[in-house]
Amino acid sequence: MGIIKTYGIDSMGFFVPEFSLDIRKLCEYRGKNYDNQLAKIGQKRISLTFKTPSEMAYEALKDVMSHDAALDIGKVGRLVVATETPEDLATPKIGLYVHDKAGLSSDCEVYEVRAACAAGGYALLDSIRWCKENKDRKAVVLCTDIAKYDVGSAEPTQGSGAVAIVVDSNPTLLRIDTRRTGTFSKKVDDFCRPVGRDMPIVNGPLSLECYHKAIEEVDGNFYRNGGKIPDYYTNLVFHIPFPRILDRAHLDEDFILKRHNIAITKGNFQNYTKRDRLYNQFIGNAYTASSFFALASLLEILLSEEKLTRGGEVRFIFYGSGCTAKTFSGRLTDNSTSVVSKFRLGERLLDQHDMPIEEYEKWREQRI
């Protein structure tokens, strides 16, 4: 009998913006109360850069290439970009820029996908299925975004960053189960960025309502499709645009307890979900990249706590405004500790430079 192949995430790379803006400083500049903002959204700093989405995406891929000796660029047959900040409405400009800079082969597929913040989840799942049909090729998913808002809107939840995800057979980080997934889609107008507009239009209260409803619906669809009900040891990875999103959308311990009867003591939900929220306090909203920064946050903290265990379950719950949600799960591999040890995401966040307000205003003026 031959070896049964599994598919999933082989390695990951990151672009962490070089600048960081303290929300306390932003609140003082705008005449806002920092303590109120912190209690409302939980954001302490936001990560900002003058790089374009294309440049960020390439930096994330270079990061993978620098530490993944097994990544043979010649074997990459698909490069898919998930973004809410495209640089061209007709061509996959970001992907083609990276394709050229990285020297990928001419028979490599290059395209971009749009599904708001859930685009990265759809791109990952689709690329895994593609790898199953193209067994000698790898796929790379690039999530790259810049979140910029009008003054008085969601300004304290801005952010930016990029993540590169290498998809392959017999992955070294996370085996993904593509047979059992959950899906939910419904037309709503909670968030949009019309053509020609640099800043999105945001209906915050409606978006929180949609976030809760979509996760509730996608969760139910997942179980109806044969998905496993999580236990206390299941690691949940949510889309985290700001740290307190789960609380603001009323996805608290009561919601989890009622749906799954998990043995979580009341009031311990913050502790149960704190690992995937931690780094977001310093990154902000990176749209399509946010869920994967949350994954990296979770895995690095589990590693530091010596709780990163082989076979540990990770359940993704992606949300995209407009709206759509997707959920599926995977399991950590024998080599996951080695892969996660190369992330160094927490270290890089500590190395950022403080952005002066004068530079911040220049950043705001730069068109996406």
Write a three-state SS string for the chain: CCCCCCEEEEEEEEECCCEEEEHHHHHHHHCCCHHHHHHHHCCCEEEECCCCHHHHHHHHHHHHHHHCCCCCHHHEEEEEEECCCCCCCCCCHHHHHHHHHHCCCCCCEEEEECECECHHHHHHHHHHHHHHHCCCCEEEEEEEEEECCCCCCCHHHCEEEEEEEEEEECCCCEEEEEEEEEEEECCCCCEECCCCCCCCEECHHHHHHHHHHHHHHHHHHHHHCCCCCCCCCCEEEECCCCCCHHHHCCCCHHHHHHHHCCCCCCCCHHHHHHHHHCCHHHHECCHHHHHHHHHHHHHHHHHHCCCCCCCCEEEEEEEECCCEEEEEEEEECCCHHHHHCCCCHHHHHHCCEECCHHHHHHHHHCCC
Average pLDDT over the chain reads: 91
Q: Percent of the chain at pLDDT above 90?
A: 79
pLDDT for 247: 83
Mean pLDDT value across residues 313-334? 95
pLDDT for 236: 86
pLDDT for 367: 83
Mean pLDDT value across residues 21-40? 95
pLDDT for 179: 93
Mean pLDDT value across residues 254-265? 54
pLDDT for 368: 74
Does the domain at residues 176-335 carry the CATH identifier 3.40.47.10?
A: yes
pLDDT(229) > 80: no
pLDDT digits (tens, 9 = 90+) for 286-305: 999 999 999 999 999 999 99
Under the banding of pLDDT at 50, 70 and 90, the label for residue 2 is: very low
pLDDT for 266: 47
Q: Same fold for the domain at 7-173+345-365 and the one at 176-335?
A: yes
pLDDT for 1: 40
pLDDT(227) > 90: no
pLDDT(262) > 70: no
Under the banding of pLDDT at 50, 70 and 90, the label for residue 254 is: low
User: Topology of 7-173+345-365 in CATH?
Assistant: Peroxisomal Thiolase; Chain A, domain 1 (3.40.47)
Query: Is the pLDDT higher at 312 or at 113?
Result: 113
pLDDT(3) > 60: no
pLDDT for 135: 84
Give the domain ranges of the chain.
7-173+345-365, 176-335
Query: Is the pLDDT higher at 81 or at 70?
Result: 81
